[in-house]
Amino acid sequence: MTIEILTLKVLNDNYAYLLIDKTTDQAAVIDPGSAGPVIKALNNKNLNLSHILLTHHHYDHSGGVRELKKLYPESKIAIHEDDAAHLPTKCDHKLADGDLITFANVAIKIIHLPCHTRGHVAFQVGEALFTGDTLFNAGCGKFFEGTATEMLSNLQRLKTLPNITRIYCGHEYTVENLEYAHQADPDNPEISNRLDASRIAQATNSPLVPSTLSLELQTNPFLRLNDEQLQQQLKTDNELDTLTSLYKIYYGTTP
């Protein structure tokens, strides 16, 4: 694969990502919450923008779309069909589960994960997975437009991907999420170790994305819902109740 991935910090704590095809100087952007940092990166590297890919409709992921489309009128805006109506701009490509978008001779696969919003998707590009606000480092997004049962099946689906999958999430919440994870599963040494390492990384401005699926399987309680030790801590005996208990710890409210 000839694609390079560039991480951009946008707004307060959002991540946008540029996929760059060096052979043609084309780029695709994922979740441009604001246009400025994206335009700057495109100009710095002399790139043209061919695709604007949105994991979901929320403004902190799509706020830069209108400006980018104006500057790059040939670029194609893609969002799941269930989220398209929320965009202030017309989209060019309404996505459905299993669709493939071709960028730089590479297929980008659409994985529909309804719950945070009805049309939330993840983009799978080779070994990279862009998870938006569904799966965070050591956490999981809010269930704004769906149920715990839906999120459970999303999480179960993500767990089946190859362990080497690199996870590029939509927000930088790593340290606070690991603090909640530690609260939920205090005897898990992998969580404590990752929390220590992440605090150091944050203090030294080292990147905390991407994570990997194998690291998340060890330290993200939302991918460990059937773990005996975690269930004992939360006094639950099934994955759905464990998910609900975790949501309360992370978000202070029931889903």
Binding site for Zn ion (CB under 5 A): 58, 60, 133
| 61 labelled catalytic | yes
Residues 6+ apart with CB under 8 A from 223: 135, 155, 158, 159, 216, 217
For Zn ion, the closer CB: 21 or 31 = 31
From 57, 80, 120, 171, active-site residue: 171
For Zn ion, the closer CB: 60 or 185 = 60
| 60 labelled catalytic | yes
Q: How far is the CB of 237 from Zn ion (least distance, A)?
A: 31
Tokens of 58: 């929320």
Q: How far is the CB of 29 from Zn ion (least distance, A)?
A: 15
CA distance 183 to 142: 19
Q: How far is the CB of 54 from Zn ion (least distance, A)?
A: 10
From 56, 57, 112, 182, active-site residue: 56
From 61, 80, 120, 182, active-site residue: 61
| 56 labelled catalytic | yes
For Zn ion, the closer CB: 140 or 234 = 140
Burial class (CB in 10 A: 0-12, 13-18, 19+), 174: buried
Distance of CA 50 to the CA centre of its chain: 21
| 57 labelled catalytic | no
Tokens of 181: 């994870």
Q: How far is the CB of 138 from Zn ion (least distance, A)?
A: 16
| 112 labelled catalytic | no
Instruction: Tally the residues of the chain.
Output: 255
CA distance 38 to 83: 22
Alpha carbon distances (Å) from 159 to 8, 57, 82, 185, 189: 26, 24, 24, 19, 21
From 57, 116, 120, 182, active-site residue: 116
Residues assigned a catalytic role: 56, 58, 60-61, 116, 133, 171
